[in-house]
Amino acid sequence: MSIRTLDDLLAEGVSGRRVLVRADLNVPLDKQTGAITDDGRIRAVLPTLRALTEAGAKVVVFSHLGRPKGAPDPQYSLRPVAGRLGELLGVPVSFAEDTVGDSARSTVDALADGELALLENLRFNKGETSKNDAERGAFADQLAALGEAYVDDAFGAVHRKHASVHDVPARLPHVAGRLVLREVEVLSRLTGEPERPYVVVLGGSKVSDKLAVIEALLPKVDKLLIGGGMCFTFLKAQGHEVGTSLLEEEMVGTCADLLARADGKILLPVDVVAADAFAPDAAHDTVPADAIPSKRLGLDVGPRTVAAFAEVIGTARTVFWNGPMGVFEMPAFAAGTRGVAEAITKADAFTVVGGGDSAAAVRALGLDESSFGHISTGGGASLEYLEGKTLPGIAALED
């Protein structure tokens, strides 16, 4: 199986053609002001959009944002994204008030060569996420009617069997955009024969969310470093008390089994920052990981853990990181994530940040994005790729 690329489409000529681009513009918005708080996903699709507009295509961009319930919801409108996209591109971006209705059709019809329009949130239509093939297909028919070719540059959505990702490419000539192609190339390096030592750093809140990827990676990695909220279930599996820390009691046995099978590959925190409450101003101290006070909860890994993790990362030739080490959004509990991230930037290795909260942490902590080998735009998609799952959006691009 092979996947045609944006360069293949450009070589055929796109001047005057309506080209649909599925982008992932699912950016975080401030709940009070509605302002975009992190435009990383918008920036990630710019190379594909610029290539198409410069070649004279009439570019029609569509995306989801948030989780509306299949009907219009103003808090999830893509209108702020249209404004930011125009600022970054330096050209006006037309905005359609709907996805496949009168506004979409008239907006697309009005495009001149080299111009770009953004349609309203795909998930305002039930057909986008429907599990019914016919309902999803009917919506895909309406989307496909707006264009003459299809480009998927929404890596963050390729693990979803949604109309715009899975069904539209079956109806139009289809290619992978610059971003999707780069993501697949990078993750293929991790699933193939990565240069060793291969070190994976996993954080985040729940073991259950990462169990499949841990199972898939354990035979392939040299070391697996575990922090974040999920570490407390592993610490409990070792027989330690974890106070009021986040704990998945039903996963303790699974973690014990993983530790038994890991043959020393799994490294857990040796100290944690334990607080009185889940609050930015909560009283807190660094304590040994096996001595967390009964009425306190761990909100970050401690400095001894950062040093131990950094030592392992420093020996690596390949590093994959997914998930923060603590509640980095609160300054008092951000040091663990910052310390581990900085160790990754200093490693003489091919380094990949696995999207989601990890990518958000890189930007929120003011770290230099260019000091990482690759920052994925798709947390869930990157994990499922590493698990070896078939991603519907990638499969749909194969010929």
CB 349 within 8 A of CB 318: yes
Which residues, 6 or more positions from 21, have their beta carbon under 8 angstroms from its beta carbon?
45, 48, 49, 52, 59, 60, 61, 62, 151, 153, 177
CB 271 within 8 A of CB 304: yes
Which residues, 6 or more positions from 237, have their beta carbon under 8 angstroms from its beta carbon?
252, 253, 255, 256, 259
Q: Is 358 marked within a binding site?
A: yes
Distance CA 271, CA 293 (A): 12
Q: Is 123 marked within a binding site?
A: yes
Adjacency order of strands within the sheet including 374-375: 266-267, 223-226, 198-202, 318-322, 350-353, 374-375
Catalytic residue among 17, 18, 22, 41: 41
Catalytic residue among 127, 204, 380, 393: 380
Q: Is 329 marked within a binding site?
A: yes
Q: Is 136 marked within a binding site?
A: no
Q: Is 355 marked within a binding site?
A: yes
Q: Would residue 56 show up in a list of annotated catalytic residues for this protein?
A: no
Q: Is 177 marked within a binding site?
A: no
What tokens appear for 215 in the block? 């199972």
Distance CA 54, CA 227 (A): 45
Q: How far is CA 287 from the centre of its chain?
A: 32
Q: Is 367 marked within a binding site?
A: no
Q: Is 17 marked within a binding site?
A: no
Q: Would residue 206 show up in a list of annotated catalytic residues for this protein?
A: yes
Distance CA 32, CA 195 (A): 46
DSSP string, 263-289: TT-EE--SEEEEESSSSTT--EEEEET
Q: Would residue 177 show up in a list of annotated catalytic residues for this protein?
A: no
Q: Is 363 marked within a binding site?
A: no
Q: Is 64 marked within a binding site?
A: yes
For residue 74, the one-letter residue type is: P
Q: Is 379 marked within a binding site?
A: no
Which residues, 6 or more positions from 176, have their beta carbon under 8 angstroms from its beta carbon?
3, 4, 5, 6, 151, 152, 153, 184, 397
Catalytic residue among 206, 304, 363, 389: 206
Distance CA 211, CA 314 (A): 26
DSSP string, 13-28: --TT-EEEEEE-----
Catalytic residue among 229, 323, 356, 378: 356
CB 52 within 8 A of CB 91: no
> Positive or negative, the Cα torsion across 132, 134, 139, 145?
positive
Cβ burial of 101 (10 Å; 0-12, 13-18, 19+) is middle
Cα 289 to Cα 274, 302, 304, 363: the distances in Å are 9, 9, 10, 28
Q: Would residue 356 show up in a list of annotated catalytic residues for this protein?
A: yes
First to last CA, the chain: 6
Binding-site residue positions for (2R)-3-phosphoglycerate: 41, 123, 160
Binding-site residue positions: 24-26, 41, 64-67, 123, 160, 210, 298, 329, 355-358
Binding-site residue positions for ATP: 210, 298, 329, 355-358
Catalytic residue positions, numbered: 41, 206, 356, 380
Binding-site residue positions for substrate: 24-26, 41, 64-67, 123, 160
